[in-house]
A and B are shown apart, each in its own frame.
Chain A
């Protein structure tokens, strides 16, 4: 069945360093890949997304890359700050069923 693998499950970085989270999807019909940030006790919030016809998208310190051939997409956070500490989820949406499959999350800790 459809599956999204997300790595690593936990990631600790020093403030100011970069963080990279990687996801691999199995459903070749996926055409939309959002990333969500969930702070402790709060709801997930969309931070960036990418469509299948785009290879890279950037928004200030956050960027997402997509390799459709390898079915990989990654989240890159530069110049990390303590407020970036949260759980990050990737997701892939099927273009036909509009079903979202989520990764299992990455707990990012930015150490001051």
Chain B
């Protein structure tokens, strides 16, 4: 069974540009979570999608947005990039809302903002 995949592996942008990160969940999983992992910090919750809908978002500005497609894949968009957006962005998928479904993480996209 294929795990969670993310693309691209690395992304280099300049300040003010926009970045798009993609995530493909494990087959059968309907929930996708996005996290930001800055150097030396834990995982900061960004967004949660389930069944195509945004269910919750963390304490991030509106320039962080995303969507979930009918096949449950997801993309994260970051507009007006700032230097402090440089981080590893991880997505995780799970079987769905409710219960105690395990989150499976992808390998991450390392975003560097110059």
Contact = CB atoms under 8 A, between A and B. Distances in A.
A99 B58 contact: yes
A34 B42 contact: no
Taking each of B4, B42, B55, B104, which has the highest tally of chain A beta carbons within 10 Å of its own beta carbon? B42
Contacts of B64: none
Contact of A44 (B45, B48, B90): B90
Given A1-B59, A98-B48, A43 B42 contact: no
A103 B40 CA distance: 11
Interface of B: 4, 33, 35, 40-45, 48, 55-56, 58-59, 90, 97-98, 100, 102-108
A49 B100 contact: yes
A102 B44 contact: yes
A104 B41 contact: yes
Interface of A: 1, 4, 6, 32, 34, 36, 42-46, 49, 51, 89, 91, 97-105
Contacts of B4: 43
Given A6-B42, A51-B100, A97 B105 contact: no
B25 to A, nearest CB: 14
Nearest to A43: B105
A100 B45 contact: yes
Residue from A1, A99, A104 with most neighbouring chain B CB atoms (10 Å): A99
A57 B8 CA distance: 38
Closest 10 CB pairs of A and B: A102-B42, A43-B105, A102-B43, A104-B42, A44-B105, A97-B56, A105-B42, A43-B107, A99-B56, A46-B102
B105 A100 contact: no
A6 B41 CA distance: 11
A32 B98 CA distance: 11
Contacts of A45: 105
Given A102-B45, A104-B42, 8 more contacts: A43-B105, A43-B106, A44-B105, A89-B42, A91-B43, A97-B56, A98-B97, A101-B45
